[in-house]
């Protein structure tokens, strides 16, 4: 490819809106361009990288016996309504109607529709297990798209779906995909770790994310200092050490104490000279249907919204308004669990001892409030996990919080969709049984930008060879010298004959501009044919990741370059 004809120009400076190093380099190196907020166009260099990433994914899916297919982008509303996700996904999906008024959703994911096909194509247990996958655009109406391709409103996802006859089969399929993902990210050049994750709107109870730890990530991951426990904070738990219990049978009845203006835990601490764990924090919230729920927490903890959404089976939670406070019998700033007219959720980390809680009366709290005696509720894990908490697995390690980018996820949802859609097959005993399934996704664009985020230096991108847009970047200096140009073009032709992908910089630019662009674009091997070196029949080879260059005889230059490229991982 002649660089003078390349559709896409490099930029000396990144646009002001670029938010991360990878975002800035992606724009400067002409990898992609924004069309609107959260919508990006792959330019030719980026498109080549995207296709190489897709091919790695494809090869690893094929290796475990998955079959490639393709489902539509537009998906009919009635199927989404059958599983309840038409309403559950409303805040984050794009919808439209055809000329007959029929409703459609731009695909958010494809669990419902692959089950429709399974019902049609899989009749008997003899056809199981099955894994199918496709590469397809997805639409997410993100309120705040950010950081280039890390959070967008349209993207290509590889989503795979497994169908098994039973739980044991699902576990084998899940393990096969888990291994495929480990190999996939390793081949891309991404150091991705698996972490326990929330299943969110996908259903089921078992899920893992593959996270690349980097400060530009928006996900937060709890990592144990002592064992292999790793979990997204949306899912993470902690080991609660219960000590210092009070004798509850001797605890006095609740009594009021004046707390004028003390509407926060911090204010109560200052007023009453007690630590935050001496207080109950009661938060009044509502689900998407407007149902009020009271969440009771230790005074030093916050509500984990993802955990709460899952408990409530809702797509969103909001703070209760004044009218809802009044209906529940609560007073803002002084709300407490005793006497509330609402569904009460009690965080499982709370000790069974006497606490101080809001009295549902202005400027007043109650002391000696005991869970189970003075109020009751459902015990759930709904609190946040923080740096320094104890690991729930080994009990001895402490948790550190790291940032990460989620590049893939896998879900074992069992019969979640089959039950709702009556998707069954004929089992060995002749009865109809539901498919047991899982889904497995990789966002291609996010993976590409994460590669840039983790493979760059102060000069530009440093592509892993297996995903680079080209293998070699040949520079002619100066290109208007006939001998230099002829030698460079002869070398390019010889390399391309050997199957080596070449970007040929045939532009009439200075050496400084060409070297700067070569470093910025980040192709793994730079080959310089210059007037000075031509006098000695030499060419300069320099790996993008190396400091020093190598001089090789032009007569054997193509062989040496082929050896270097042939040694790279695939």
For 471-509, how does the pLDDT look when each residue is reduced to its tens digit (9 = 90+)? 999 999 999 999 999 999 999 999 999 999 999 999 999
Q: What is the 3-state secondary structure (H, E, C) of 358-427?
A: EEEECCEEEEEEEECCCECCEEECCECCCCCCECCCCCCCEEEEEEEEEEEEEEEEECHHHHHHCCEEEC
**Rounded Cα gap, residues 141 and 426, in angstroms:** 39
Helices (DSSP H) in 222-293: which residue ranges? 265-272
Give residue 82's pLDDT.
Answer: 95
Q: Is there a contact between 234 and 382 (Cβ–Cβ < 8 Å)? A: no
Give the model's confidence band at 28: pLDDT under 50 very low, under 70 low, under 90 confident, else very high.
very high
Q: For the chain, which domains are there? A: 24-190+410-452 (3.30.930.10), 248-380 (3.90.960.10), 470-566 (3.40.50.800)
**Rounded Cα gap, residues 567 and 22, in angstroms:** 27
- Site of tokens 């764990």: 277
- Site of tokens 């979640």: 416
Mean pLDDT computed over every residue of the chain: 94
Give residue 249's pLDDT.
Answer: 60
Per-position DSSP letters for 440-477, written without gaps between them: EEEEHHHHHHHHHHHSB-SSSB---GGG-S-SEEEEEE
Helices (DSSP H) in 68-130: which residue ranges? 77-83, 85-88, 111-121
Q: Is there a contact between 498 and 509 (Cβ–Cβ < 8 Å)? A: no
Q: What is the number of residues in the chain?
A: 570
Phi, psi of 214 (to 5 degrees): -160, 145
443's CB contacts (< 8 A; 6+ apart) are 155, 156, 157, 407, 408
Give the model's confidence band at 166: pLDDT under 50 very low, under 70 low, under 90 confident, else very high.
very high
- Mean pLDDT over residues 53-71, rounded? 98
| DSSP bridge partners of 181 | none
Q: Is the pLDDT of residue 246 over 60?
A: no
Q: How far is CA 245 from CA 78, 249, 250, 255, 378, in A?
A: 54, 12, 12, 20, 21
Give residue 243's pLDDT.
Answer: 56
Q: Is the pLDDT of residue 244 over 70?
A: no
**Rounded Cα gap, residues 280 and 400, in angstroms:** 26
Q: How far is CA 80 from CA 115, 314, 448, in A?
A: 12, 16, 30
Half-sphere exposure of 233 (CA within 13 A, CB side): 20
Q: How far is CA 307 from CA 310, 345, 460, in A?
A: 5, 12, 40
Above pLDDT 70, what percent of the chain?
97
Using DSSP's 3-state secondary structure scheme, residue 247 falls into coil
Give residue 200's pLDDT.
Answer: 63
**Rounded Cα gap, residues 319 and 422, in angstroms:** 37
Rounded to the nearest angstrom, the gap between the alpha carbon of residue 157 and the centroid of all alpha carbons in its chain is 12
- Site of tokens 């692959």: 114
Phi, psi of 471 (to 5 degrees): -80, -45
206's CB contacts (< 8 A; 6+ apart) are 174, 199, 411, 412
3-state helix, strand, coil in the chain (%, to 5): 30, 30, 35
Which of 228, 158, 233 minimizes the C-alpha distance to 194? 228
Copy the structure tokens of residue 520: 């910025």
Q: Is there a contact between 188 and 53 (Cβ–Cβ < 8 Å)? A: yes
Which of 473, 518, 463, 521 minimizes the C-alpha distance to 495? 473
Q: Is there a contact between 48 and 470 (Cβ–Cβ < 8 Å)? A: yes
Copy the structure tokens of residue 401: 């919080």
Phi, psi of 541 (to 5 degrees): -110, 135
- Strand locations in 515-564, DSSP E? 525-530, 538-543, 550-553
Sequence-separated contacts (24+) of 75-78 with Cβ below 8 Å: 75/104, 75/105, 75/106, 75/107, 75/110, 75/112, 75/113, 76/102, 76/103, 76/104, 77/102, 77/103, 77/104, 77/105, 78/103
- Site of tokens 């000279």: 273
Copy the structure tokens of residue 322: 């004044």
Q: Is there a contact between 217 and 405 (Cβ–Cβ < 8 Å)? A: yes
Phi, psi of 488 (to 5 degrees): -65, -45
**Rounded Cα gap, residues 201 and 67, in angstroms:** 25
Region of poorest pLDDT, from 145-149, 286-290, 299-303, 559-563 = 286-290
DSSP classification of residue 204: S
- Higher pLDDT: 113 or 250? It is 113
Above pLDDT 90, what percent of the chain?
89
Copy the structure tokens of residue 101: 């008024």
Q: Is the pLDDT of residue 7 over 80?
A: yes
**Rounded Cα gap, residues 497 and 504, in angstroms:** 14
pLDDT tens digits along 130-159: 999 999 999 999 988 999 999 999 999 999
Q: Are strands 67-68 and 230-232 parallel, antiparallel or unpaired?
A: unpaired
- pTM for this prediction: 0.89
Q: Is the pLDDT of residue 245 over 60?
A: no
**Rounded Cα gap, residues 95 and 436, in angstroms:** 29
Copy the structure tokens of residue 532: 């000075």
- Higher pLDDT: 198 or 367? It is 367
**Rounded Cα gap, residues 203 and 219, in angstroms:** 20
**Rounded Cα gap, residues 113 and 92, in angstroms:** 19
């Amino acid at each position: 490819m002649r660089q003078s004809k390349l559709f896409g120009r490099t930029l000396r400076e990144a646009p002001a809106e670029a938010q991360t190093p990878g975002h800035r380099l992606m724009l400067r190196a002409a990898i992609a361009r924004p069309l609107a907020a959260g919508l990006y166009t792959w330019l030719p260099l980026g498109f080549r990288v995207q296709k190489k990433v897709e091919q790695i994914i494809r090869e690893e899916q094929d290796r475990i016996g998955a079959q490639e297919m393709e489902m539509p982008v537009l998906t009919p509303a009635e199927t989404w309504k059958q599983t309840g996700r038409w309403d559950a996904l409303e805040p984050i999906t794009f919808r439209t109607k055809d000329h007959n008024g029929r409703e459609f959703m731009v695909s958010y994911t494809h669990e419902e529709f692959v089950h429709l096909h399974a019902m049609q194509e899989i009749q008997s247990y003899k056809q199981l297990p099955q894994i199918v996958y496709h590469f397809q655009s997805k639409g997410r109406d993100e309120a705040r798209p950010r950081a280039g391709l890390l959070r967008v409103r349209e993207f290509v996802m590889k989503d795979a779906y497994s169908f098994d006859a039973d739980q044991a089969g699902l576990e084998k399929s899940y393990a096969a995909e888990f291994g495929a993902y480990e190999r996939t990210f390793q081949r891309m050049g991404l150091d991705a770790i698996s972490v326990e994750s929330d299943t969110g709107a996908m259903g089921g109870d078992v899920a893992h994310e593959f996270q690349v730890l980097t400060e530009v990530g928006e996900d937060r991951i709890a990592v144990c200092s002592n064992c292999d426990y790793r979990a997204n904070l949306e899912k993470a738990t902690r080991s609660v050490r219960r000590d210092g219990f009070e004798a509850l049978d001797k605890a006095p009845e609740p009594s009021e104490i004046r707390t004028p203006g003390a509407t926060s835990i911090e204010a109560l601490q200052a007023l009453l000279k007690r630590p935050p764990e001496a207080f109950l924090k009661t938060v009044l919230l509502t689900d998407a249907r407007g149902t009020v729920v009271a969440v009771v927490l230790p005074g030093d903890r916050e509500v984990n919204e993802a955990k709460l959404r899952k408990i409530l089976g809702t797509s969103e939670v909001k703070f209760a308004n004044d009218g809802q406070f009044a209906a529940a019998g609560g007073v803002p700033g002084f709300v407490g669990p005793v006497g509330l007219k609402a569904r009460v959720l009690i965080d499982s980390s709370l000790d069974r001892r006497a606490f101080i809680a809001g009295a549902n009366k202005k400027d007043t709290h109650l002391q000696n409030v005991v869970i189970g005696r003075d109020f009751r509720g459902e015990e759930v894990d709904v609190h946040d996990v923080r740096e320094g908490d104890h690991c729930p697995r080994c009990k001895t390690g402490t948790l550190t919080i790291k940032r990460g980018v989620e590049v893939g996820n896998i879900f074992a949802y069992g019969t979640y969709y089959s039950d709702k859609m009556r998707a069954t097959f004929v089992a060995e005993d002749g009865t109809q049984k539901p498919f047991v399934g899982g889904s497995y996704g990789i966002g291609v664009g996010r993976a590409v930008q994460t590669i840039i985020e983790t493979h760059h230096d102060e000069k530009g991108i440093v592509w892993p060879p297996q995903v680079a847009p080209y293998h070699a970047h040949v520079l002619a200096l100066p290109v208007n010298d006939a001998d230099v140009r002829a030698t460079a073009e002869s070398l390019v032709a010889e390399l391309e004959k050997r199957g080596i992908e070449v970007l040929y910089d045939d532009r009439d630019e200075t050496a400084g501009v060409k070297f700067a662009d070569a470093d910025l674009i980040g192709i793994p091997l730079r080959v310089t044919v210059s007037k000075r070196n031509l006098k000695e029949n030499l060419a300069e080879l320099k790996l993008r990741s190396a400091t020093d260059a190598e001089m090789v005889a032009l007569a054997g230059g193509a062989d040496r370059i082929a050896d270097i490229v042939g040694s790279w991982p695939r």
